[in-house]
């Protein structure tokens, strides 16, 4: 892990050295020679380290570790030196606008400063050479002391597991269904390491009913074999019969003629590709696989398969497990409090609970206070104590199996956020970009690479989804609690992340303040007074990010001492004042700035933040945005809800803005209130991809509406030259949206959201080229108006938030591409959906708390359906009827429940998040038995769970056998 952090750092420093050597910087020959030497040496060190890591080795000897720490500190010092000399590292913009002004100030500051820079670089070269000599003398890099990376732990099947009955019954029911023609039915069990995949597979494998049905069975662990051939040999050896010697048995023939059950534990894509190629197309056998990768599970169960995604144990089942392992004689109230701390820290991961139980059993006298101390120092115990060996191997393997140092460092970076709190996907990605932890390859953009890295972490179940957006992309996520603890401990050990209250804070790259119960754990020797308490008040920090969640205290006015900050996240800070931002303009390197709800004004010198890329003001009270903000040369993402700070712009000002070549990609959003300022500038934002506008009436004549229409038309027409994402959101307010009818030309948008009353559906909507996402909210349109939407043949997502959709009919052939349909209604009257409509529907969301029974919906019409989402306030009878209907569906779609964030909000403004299940009191209704074969159809069908684990399993056990969070195993 230390090698990955150091490698990522040296790579980034090399890039800065390359920029520094460009012709735009007039450096002396001696200085250039020093820089070239440093660059070459760092390149060589980083390449050697990457080769070791690629071979599955990580330096572990004392000399290797010391050398690595020395190189890390050197790279830190080199980067700090460069950043202080080069306030704007972007070569492309030097000589332009504010960048040129900044550089002129630095050069004017004096030749002596440049001389000091040259002297410092020369010293760093000498230190680097000395470090190289020591590395060679002690063979710290290429020596044979590097040990192999830990393999994935074989956790085995837990005896007498907790919370396994319902998921076991669900899989047994599927397994015992009659087989039919087609590909072999494959059940994939997927989840994070240590979540109980093997335990669940073993329980199904040894179930008496399964043994009777499949007397010929085989169990193999893929990771124990060097290749797929060895794996197949192991399987065949177990499948052979007494009257048929092994050489005469072929996998093809056996699976074609015999009903057998094969379990392959810890399978990978290469294993599956070989096994799949020899499987007969028609077989009576069944296969169960376990894997930590969602993509592998999907591949194995493609066609007539089923994917079961593991959930975490809830608090109740976690305590049951602890009682069985440790507290079997009961708990006193004081010890009960300690057990609660353990449950929270282990975050529902069975392996973590089992390892914690083994460790606690060694104590002479177990008390609640001791349990709390163990939780407080869990990272240290996981690293040092033998009882945590299996858990540590799983966690280390999850980390070391990642492809390359940027992705590993990106994962480590997630531990800067409070444990247990959701992280917005876009926030995380933009912070990665600002930190330089994403390196573009080939012709892809940095954003594409960052998005791919995020998807890989999700695919490996290392970070788990919390909520998904309408296009099935993960909207918020969180790391597993025990993984967060592990990464934070390692990050602190490697001078990567620590609290601003840490006495060694000046040596770390990322600082945080967390004042939440679920926040990080710091050992006693890491706690000290806040940064503002040091006597001299002159301590400088080399941190690149500062994240404050909760109260900052006196430290709120001290963040400018982190003069090299790239990320300043104060969005969750509760006690920040406007005056605390007065010196923020001195943070020349700042790329990401988020402010919280206590801020009402931006500082006057905000325009000095030349490198700023993201400005998030959504939680602030800021209503008027200074025009200078829009002119920031690198600003790409601007979020908030504000008005323009200037009534009108002169032609010269617009021309000047046009020459700056705005890089703004997202502008979400601003009021169009008769002030044409934003609307005038939009035409010159050539890279703009996402716009959100709140329209306001400007009087009886509504003189400002033509300006809005013109700006919208220009934005949409500019998209005709693209095929990528282009999103527009219009809140029509009290303007009535009929002014959109003036747009007659064909335009391009990929996403459109309209909120507010319309008398008719504008032709502008149905004529949009490439529209794949549409949301209409509180438009008061009737069924005959909405029927025009059927012209949108390429629409993938449709959301309708209306009072009554009873007159809306979706006929056979309508919406031939639609995959997700969300209906938010006040009255429990749904559209009529005819058979043959929505042939590719995957997700159906029916959000009405008064929904009655099935409300005429026939989900059996939709062969591809994987999910049905209901309001968590629906009656228990309605919930169980939907679950029973889902049970009968050949694809067995998951039934999930969503709850309102603020139930007092009107239907048009309400937002939903995933819930644990229906919140109304359950009642008893007749429902089919979960084991009925005749009601499931002859084939296995795939259920790919793309929603968060808690939501993915929120089915009532009485109706369909799925495991709700309260009964899940992990």
Task: Give yes or no: residues 496 and 635 share one domain.
Answer: no
Domain identity same for 510 and 602: yes
| DSSP H/E element including 693 | strand 690-695
pLDDT (mean) for 901-908:
59
Question: Of the candidates 258, 274, 309, which is a domain's last residue?
Answer: 309
Q: 786: domain CATH number?
A: 3.80.10
pLDDT at 914: 80
Lowest-pLDDT choice from 299-313, 587-601, 944-958: 944-958
Note the pLDDT of residue 698.
60
**686 lies in some domain:** yes
Question: What dihedral do alpha carbons 470, 471, 472, 473 form, nearest 10°?
Answer: -110
Q: Residues 225, 272, 292, CA angle at the centre, nearest 5°? A: 80
pLDDT in tens, 351-378: 999 999 899 888 777 888 888 889 888 9
Indicate if 83 and 125 belong to the same structural domain.
yes
Pairwise CA distance, residues 34 & 568, whole Å: 33
Residue 14 and residue 59 in one domain: yes
DSSP state, residue 588: T
Rg (CA), the chain: 30
Instruction: Indicate if 497 and 420 belong to the same structural domain.
Output: yes
- Compute the distance between CA of residue 920 and CA of residue 849 in angstroms, rounded to an integer: 10
Q: How far apart are CA 607 and CA 629, in angstroms?
A: 6
**Whole-number Å distance between alpha carbons of 65 and 63:** 5
Which of 711, 741, 771 is the endpoint of a domain? 771
Domain count, the chain: 6
The CATH code of the domain that includes 217 is: 3.40.50.300
Assess if residue 869 is contained within a domain: yes
- Report the number of secondary-structure helices (H) and strands (E) in the chain: 31, 31
Check whether residue 809 and residue 945 sit in a common domain: yes
Distances (CA, A) of 165 to 349, 679, 712: 17, 60, 56
Q: Specify the pLDDT at position 552.
A: 87
**Is 531 a member of any domain?**
no
Cα separation, 484 vs 497, whole angstroms: 12
Supply the DSSP symbol for 830: P
Q: Residues 338, 339, 341, CA angle at the centre, nearest 5°?
A: 65
Q: Is residue 324 part of a domain?
A: no
Q: Are residues 79 and 192 in the same domain?
A: no
Half-sphere CA count of 213, side-chain side, radius 13 A: 20
83 and 97 share one domain: yes
Q: Is residue 670 part of a domain?
A: yes
In a domain, 968, yes or no: no
Domain, as residue range, for 63: 2-148
Same-domain status, 428 and 503:
yes
Of all residues in the chain, the percent with pLDDT exceeding 90 is 26
- Residue 300 and residue 255 in one domain: yes
Give yes or no for residue 727 having a pLDDT over 90.
yes
Domain end residue (candidates: 601, 622, 643): 622
Neighbouring-strand partners of residue 832: 809
Handedness of CA 220, 221, 223, 224 (dihedral sign): negative
Q: Which of 571, 573, 544 is nearest to 556 (CA)?
A: 573
Tokens 């609660």: give the residue.
Answer: 340
Mean of the pLDDT values across residues 888-899? 86
Q: Which residues touch 157 (CB under 8 Å, ≥6 apart)?
A: 198, 199, 201, 202, 203
Instruction: Assess whether 822 and 886 both reside in one domain.
Output: yes
Position 606 in a domain = yes
Coil, strand or helix: which one is 746? coil
Q: Write down the pTM of the prediction.
A: 0.85
The strand ranges marked E within 156-313 are: 185-190, 216-221, 260-265, 286-291, 306-309
**pLDDT for the residue 938:** 34
pLDDT tens digits, 238-267: 887 544 454 445 666 667 777 889 999 999
222 and 142, same domain (yes or no): no
On whether residue 966 sits in a domain, the answer given is: no
């Amino acid at each position: 892990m230390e090698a990955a952090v150091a490698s990522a750092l040296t790579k980034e420093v090399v890039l800065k050295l390359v920029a520094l050597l460009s012709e735009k910087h007039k450096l002396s020959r001696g200085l250039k020679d020093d820089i070239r030497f440093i660059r070459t040496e760092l390149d060589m060190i980083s390449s050697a380290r990457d080769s070791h890591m690629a071979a599955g080795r990580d330096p572990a000897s004392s000399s290797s570790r010391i050398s690595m720490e020395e190189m890390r500190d050197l790279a830190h010092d080199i980067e700090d030196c460069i950043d202080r000399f080069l306030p704007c590292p972007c070569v492309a913009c030097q000589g332009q606008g504010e960048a040129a002004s900044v550089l002129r100030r630095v050069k004017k500051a004096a030749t002596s400063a440049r001389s000091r820079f040259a002297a410092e670089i020369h010293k760093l070269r000498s230190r680097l050479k000395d470090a190289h000599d020591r590395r060679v003398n002690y063979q710290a890099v290429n020596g044979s002391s590097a040990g192999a990376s830990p393999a994935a732990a074989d956790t085995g099947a837990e005896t007498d597991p907790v919370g396994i009955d319902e998921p076991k019954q669900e899989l047994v029911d599927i397994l015992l269904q009659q087989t039919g023609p087609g590909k072999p039915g494959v059940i994939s069990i997927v989840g994070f390491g240590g979540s109980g995949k093997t335990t669940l597979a073993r329980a199904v494998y040894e179930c008496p009913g399964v043994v009777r049905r499949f007397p010929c069975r085989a169990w193999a662990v893929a990771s124990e074999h060097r290749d797929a051939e060895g794996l197949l040999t192991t399987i065949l050896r177990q499948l052979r019969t007494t009257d048929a010697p092994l050489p005469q048995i072929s996998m093809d023939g056996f699976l074609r003629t015999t009903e057998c059950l094969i379990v392959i534990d810890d399978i990978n894509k290469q294993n599956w590709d070989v096994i799949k190629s020899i499987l007969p197309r028609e077989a009576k056998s069944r296969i169960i696989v376990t894997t930590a990768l969602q993509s592998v599970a999907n591949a194995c169960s493609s066609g007539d398969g089923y994917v079961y995604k593991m959930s975490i144990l809830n608090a109740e089942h976690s305590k049951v497990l602890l009682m069985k392992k440790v507290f079997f004689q009961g708990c006193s109230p004081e010890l009960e409090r300690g057990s609660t701390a353990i449950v929270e820290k282990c975050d529902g991961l069975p392996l973590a609970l089992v390892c914690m139980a083994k460790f606690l059993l060694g104590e002479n006298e177990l008390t609640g206070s001791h349990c709390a101390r163990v939780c407080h120092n869990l990272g240290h115990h996981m690293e040092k104590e033998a009882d945590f060996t299996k858990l540590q191997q799983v966690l280390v393997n999850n980390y070391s199996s990642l492809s390359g140092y940027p992705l590993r460092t990106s994962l480590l970076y997630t531990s800067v956020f409070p444990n247990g709190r959701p992280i917005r996907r876009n926030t995380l990605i933009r912070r990665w970009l600002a930190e330089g932890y994403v390196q573009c390859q080939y012709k892809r953009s940095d954003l594409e690479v960052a998005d791919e890295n995020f998807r890989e972490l999700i695919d490996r179940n290392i970070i788990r989804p919390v909520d998904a957006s309408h296009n099935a992309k993960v909207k918020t996520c969180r790391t597993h609690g025990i993984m967060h603890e592990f990464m934070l401990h390692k990050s602190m050990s490697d001078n990567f992340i620590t609290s601003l209250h840490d006495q060694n804070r000046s040596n770390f790259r990322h600082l945080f303040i967390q004042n939440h119960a679920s926040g990080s754990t710091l050992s006693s020797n890491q706690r000290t007074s806040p940064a503002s308490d040091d006597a001299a008040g002159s301590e400088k920090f080399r941190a690149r990010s500062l994240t404050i969640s909760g109260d900052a205290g006196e430290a709120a006015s001290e963040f400018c001492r982190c003069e090299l900050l790239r990320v300043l996240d104060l969005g969750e800070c509760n006690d920040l004042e406007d005056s605390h931002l007065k010196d923020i303009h001195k943070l020349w390197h700042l790329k990401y700035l988020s402010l919280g709800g206590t801020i009402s004004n931006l500082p006057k010198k905000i325009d000095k933040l030349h490198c700023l890329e993201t400005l998030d003001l959504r939680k602030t009270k800021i209503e008027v945005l200074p025009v200078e903000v829009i002119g920031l040369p690198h600003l790409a993402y601007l979020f908030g809800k504000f008005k323009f700070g200037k009534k009108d712009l002169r032609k010269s000002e617009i021309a000047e803005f046009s020459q700056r070549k705005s890089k703004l990609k997202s502008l979400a959003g601003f009021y169009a209130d008769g002030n044409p300022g934003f609307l005038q500038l939009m035409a010159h934002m050539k890279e703009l991809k996402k716009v959100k506008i709140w329209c306001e009436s400007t009087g009886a004549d509504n003189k400002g509406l033509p300006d809005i229409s013109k700006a919208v038309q220009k934005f949409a027409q500019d998209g005709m030259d693209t095929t990528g994402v282009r999103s527009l959101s219009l809140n029509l307010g009290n303007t009535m949206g009929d002014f959109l009818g003036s747009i007659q030309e064909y335009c391009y948008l990929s996403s459109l959201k309209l909120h507010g009353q319309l008398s008719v559906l504008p032709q502008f909507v149905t004529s949009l080229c490439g529209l794949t996402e549409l949301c209409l909210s509180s438009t008061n349109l009737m069924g005959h108006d909405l029927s025009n939407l059927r012209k949108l043949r390429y629409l993938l997502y449709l959301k309708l938030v209306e009072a009554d959709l009873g007159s809306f009919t979706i006929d056979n052939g309508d919406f031939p591409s639609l995959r997700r349909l969300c209906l938010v209604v006040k009255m429990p009257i749904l559209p009529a959906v005819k058979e043959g409509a929505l042939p590719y529907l995957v997700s159906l969301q029916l959000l009405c708390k008064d929904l009655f029974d099935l409300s005429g919906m026939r989900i059996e019409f939709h062969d591809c359906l994987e999910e049905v989402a209901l309001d968590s306030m629906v009656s228990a009878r309605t919930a169980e009827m939907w679950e029973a209907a889902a049970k009968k569906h050949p694809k067995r779609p998951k039934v999930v429940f969503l709850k309102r964030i603020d139930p007092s909000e009107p239907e048009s403004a309400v937002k939903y998040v995933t819930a644990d299940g229906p919140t109304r009191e359950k009642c008893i209704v007749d429902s089919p038995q979960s084991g009925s074969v005749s009601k499931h159809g002859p084939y296995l069908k795939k259920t790919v769970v793309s929603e968060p684990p808690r939501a993915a399993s929120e089915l009532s056990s009485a109706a369909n056998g799925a495991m709700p969070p309260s009964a899940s195993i992990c």
